[in-house]
């Protein structure tokens, strides 16, 4: 019976073989630099590839409009072997025009996008700079300074390597009202005796554990990778998953109606406290201190560089919390998009809008005077480029922008290598 079944399978004609593969839906602009002047038309090219060859005869849905806004153009077209070109219109002012294409194949939806830039260097923020911004944060730092660091350090031998030792660290930080809280992270330091530069690594959004930057420490840098939620950063992943889905869900809007109780007050000051610890480290060289991170961490990098004069430089990927009020002016705003929606579930109340003036990265960017490397892509839908340029364009300090045009809310190996090379070189030469 088994021999008969095998013979039957082998006898099936080739035509009975099924075929499946991943579809790559690619959207591109008609200019290789993705840049246009206001009023110039954009043409988007759309092509789908499967198994290395064009996918033809399938329908693609197309939506075109200013990023994160309702589309101005909606249409359906059939793909050909050469792809299709669609007229995207234009923008009459600085900003970004985005084409999003989707198609259905084998029961799955595939998506591609491209974003045309219109004089992004001229984008200006919508967020207001309150007159008492500096006194507000000076008072916060004064309250922090009254609290001893009270560092508690425990070895993490399994996190280190041949050249670096790692430790779980928790520090005393400001809390709600007069209560103190704790701030946690993973310290990695070079094993060899000597004096070294220091790097604060600040986290992206979410709730997760951290392992530190042992590889960077092995290259001669003291590193402290922090969490922001006032909980240990070395627990099981399931603990963070539960907190992220429960008690810490939507933490980015906790207390938004009160500038003294907004969630990020403790976070921003906690980053300064982390630097208090780093600059007290016996192996610190006494001069060189930088901060780096992406998304929420990109925001915290800018915030920390603005708040803490000990910071000599920063590297920020796609900074969040930038120009969050953009939506109130009918354009894209930054993560966490608290003002995107109107209606019963909206955060668009005067007290919440007022609070963001003291936490928006735009207003910290206005105060960044140290050198920085910034990096993002035009296709980011989490931290829209309009919001990021709103912050970047008002930075008075020395700045360099490294664009990975096609990326969304992610980075690519070449981008990471460039940023790390810059950071290492900066940390070892900035104080000379």
Question: Rounded distance, CA 80 to CA 56, Å?
Answer: 5
DSSP-based helix, strand, coil % in the chain, nearest 5: 30, 30, 45
Q: Identify the pLDDT of residue 188.
A: 98
Q: Identify the pLDDT of residue 417.
A: 96
For 86, the token pair is 């669609």
Q: Identify the pLDDT of residue 341.
A: 85
Alpha helices in 180-233 (DSSP H): 214-218
Question: Rounded distance, CA 65 to CA 82, Å?
Answer: 24
Annotated catalytic residue: which of 276, 308, 323, 380? 380
Q: Quick one: how far is CA 15 from the chain centroid?
A: 48
Annotated catalytic residue: which of 229, 337, 347, 409? 409
Domains of the chain in start order, with CATH, are: 22-122 (2.60.40.1930), 133-429 (3.40.50.1820)
Annotated catalytic residue: which of 295, 375, 387, 390? 295
Q: Identify the pLDDT of residue 392.
A: 98
Q: Identify the pLDDT of residue 432.
A: 55
Tens-place pLDDT, residues 211-227: 999 999 999 999 999 99
Residue 387 appears among annotated catalytic residues: no
Q: Identify the pLDDT of residue 13.
A: 55
Residue 337 appears among annotated catalytic residues: no
Question: Rounded distance, CA 235 to CA 233, Å?
Answer: 6
Tens-place pLDDT, residues 76-118: 999 999 999 999 999 999 999 999 999 999 889 999 999 999 9
Question: Rounded distance, CA 325 to CA 333, Å?
Answer: 6
pLDDT tens, position by position, for the chain (432 residues)? Answer: 545 444 444 455 555 566 677 899 999 999 999 999 999 999 999 999 999 999 999 999 999 999 999 999 999 999 999 999 999 999 999 999 999 999 999 889 999 999 999 999 999 999 999 999 999 999 999 999 999 999 999 999 999 999 999 999 999 999 987 789 999 999 999 999 999 999 999 999 999 999 999 999 999 999 999 999 999 999 999 999 999 999 999 999 999 999 999 999 999 999 999 999 999 999 999 999 999 999 999 999 999 999 999 999 999 999 999 999 999 999 999 999 999 988 777 899 999 999 999 999 999 999 999 999 999 999 999 999 999 999 999 999 999 999 999 999 999 999 999 999 999 999 988 655
């Amino acid at each position: 019976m088994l021999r008969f079944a095998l013979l039957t399978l082998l006898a099936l004609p080739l035509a009975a073989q099924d075929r499946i593969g991943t579809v790559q839906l690619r959207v591109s602009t008609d200019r290789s630099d993705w840049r246009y002047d206001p009023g110039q038309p954009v043409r988007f090219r759309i092509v789908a590839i499967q198994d290395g060859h064009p996918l033809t005869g399938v329908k693609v849905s197309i939506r075109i409009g200013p990023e994160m806004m309702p589309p101005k153009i909606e249409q359906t077209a059939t793909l050909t072997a050469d792809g299709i070109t669609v007229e995207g219109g234009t923008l009459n002012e600085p900003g970004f025009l985005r084409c999003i294409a989707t198609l259905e194949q084998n029961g799955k939806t595939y998506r591609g996008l491209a974003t045309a830039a219109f004089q992004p260097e001229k984008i200006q923020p919508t967020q207001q700079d309150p007159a008492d911004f500096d006194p507000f944060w000076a008072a916060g730092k004064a309250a922090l300074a009254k609290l001893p660091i009270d560092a508690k350090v425990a070895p993490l031998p399994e996190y280190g390597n041949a050249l670096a030792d790692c430790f779980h660290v928790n520090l005393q930080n400001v809390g709600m009202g007069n209560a103190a809280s704790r701030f946690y992270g993973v310290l990695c330091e070079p094993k060899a005796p000597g004096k070294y530069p220091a790097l604060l690594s600040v986290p992206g959004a979410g709730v997760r554990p951290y392992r530190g930057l042992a590889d960077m420490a092995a290259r001669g840098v003291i590193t402290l990778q922090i969490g922001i939620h006032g909980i240990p950063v070395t627990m099981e992943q399931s603990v963070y998953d539960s907190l992220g889905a429960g008690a810490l869900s939507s933490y980015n809007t906790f207390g938004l109606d009160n500038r003294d109780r907004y969630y990020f007050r403790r976070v921003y000051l906690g980053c300064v406290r982390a630097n208090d610890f780093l600059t007290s480290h016996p192996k610190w060289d006494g001069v060189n201190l930088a901060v780096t991170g992406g998304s929420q961490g990109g925001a915290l990098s800018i915030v920390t560089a603005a708040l803490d004069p000990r910071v000599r430089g920063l590297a920020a990927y796609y900074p969040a919390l930038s120009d969050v009020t953009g939506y109130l002016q009918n354009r894209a705003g930054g993560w966490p998009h608290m003002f995107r929606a109107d209606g019963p579930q909206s955060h668009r109340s005067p007290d919440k809008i007022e609070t963001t003036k003291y936490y928006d990265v735009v207003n910290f960017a206005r105060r960044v005077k140290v050198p920085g490397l910034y990096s993002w892509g035009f296709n980011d839908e989490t931290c829209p480029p309009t919001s990021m340029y709103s912050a970047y364009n008002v930075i008075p300090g020395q700045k360099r922008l490294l664009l990975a045009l096609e990326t969304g809310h992610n980075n690519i190996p070449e981008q990471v290598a460039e940023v790390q090379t810059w950071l290492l070189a900066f940390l070892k030469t900035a104080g000379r």
